Amino acid sequence: MLNDSKDFLYPEKWLSKASTGERVACELRMRIISGLIESGTTLSENKLAAEYNVSRSPIREALKVLSNENLIRLERMGAVVVGLTEKEIEEIYDVRLLIETFVFERLVKNDTAHVVRELTKIFEMMQIAIKYKDADEFALQDVLFHETIIRSIDHSYITMIWNNTKPVMESFILLSMRMHFNEKYDDLSRIMKNHELYIDAISSKNREIMIQSLHQNFDDVQGKVDDLWMSQQMLSKAREQEKE
């Protein structure tokens, strides 16, 4: 069983009806992005299967998924971990900027009332998540917020891009939220302000505001990148000390 080991990074309640393969993918993704599995490591299907007490079938499935997300590179012998460097995180946000800009241009051609209503709901959920200091829930709603915007235009290939970037983004946001959800309140309020701005832009169909919010979101990320970077550094130092 996959649940033998206790310390999983990915919230189990989000995996209610996920297959073993998806579970493994989610967990491995978190371990790679958090730096718990270092870049350059070679993963073997057999070893992973033994580690997670499952057969190779779901492991293979998971590795295919992670390879699609650019987190590992499937080679002739073994899957080598690529991981997320600062560059890659910037790049994934490039993509989000790109598609959200595109989506906005589509969105303003139609009635946005329905989307705005949905986004407002999610916004309020995020407020509750802050109130109860639930970092995971906050991250989930944050991602859902952007997903809602993107899916609203019903564009199959934009959706495809989102589907491929979402898991990495989700894990990344999840980790950085957990890291300092309780400390940096000013960060959170900035994020909330920014989401308000998104809603404003879509509701008023104001291109200027949209650009502003997209840009600010990017700045927010910069901070998160630094945090993750630091945490990875800390982890690897801790490992080194362990070895001594």
Partner DNA sequence: ACGAGTATACTTGTATACAAGTATTATAGT
Partner DNA sequence: ACTATAATACTTGTATACAAGTATACTCGT
Q: Where are the beta strands (DSSP E) in the chain?
A: 42-43, 72-74, 79-81
Residue 53 backbone class (left: φ over 0; alpha: ψ -120 to 50; beta: rest): left
Distance of CA 159 to the CA centre of its chain: 15
Binding site partner of 78, from DNA, a copy of itself, none, Cβ cut-off 5-8 A by kind: DNA
Sequence letter at residue 28: L
Alpha helices in 13-112, H assignment, sequence order: 20-33, 45-51, 56-68, 86-107
CB-nearer residue toward a copy of itself: 25 or 119: 25
Binding site partner of 238, from DNA, a copy of itself, none, Cβ cut-off 5-8 A by kind: none
Could you say whether residue 94 binds a copy of itself (CB under 8 A)?
yes
* Least distance to DNA, CB of residue 172, Å: 25
Could you say whether residue 41 binds DNA (CB under 7 A)?
no
Stretch that binds a copy of itself, among 160-168, 173-181, 193-201, 221-229 (CB under 8 A): 160-168
Stretch that binds a copy of itself, among 29-37, 84-92, 140-148, 235-243 (CB under 8 A): 84-92
Contact 187, 179 (CB under 8 A): no
Within 8 A by CB and 6+ apart from 138, the residues are 126, 129, 130, 177, 181, 188
Could you say whether residue 178 binds a copy of itself (CB under 8 A)?
no
Could you say whether residue 72 binds a copy of itself (CB under 8 A)?
no
Contact 138, 177 (CB under 8 A): yes
Which of 16, 46, 156, 241 contacts DNA by CB under 7 A?
A: 46
Binding to DNA (CB under 7 A) within 62-81 occurs at 74, 76-79
CA distance 165 to 93: 9
Which of 10, 20, 66, 126 contacts DNA by CB under 7 A?
A: 20
Could you say whether residue 21 binds DNA (CB under 7 A)?
yes
Binding to a copy of itself (CB under 8 A) within 21-40 occurs at none
User: What does the block give as tokens for 135?
Assistant: 């970092």
| Residues of this chain that bind a copy of itself (CB under 8 A) | 61, 64, 68-70, 87-88, 91-92, 94-95, 98-99, 102, 155-161, 164-165
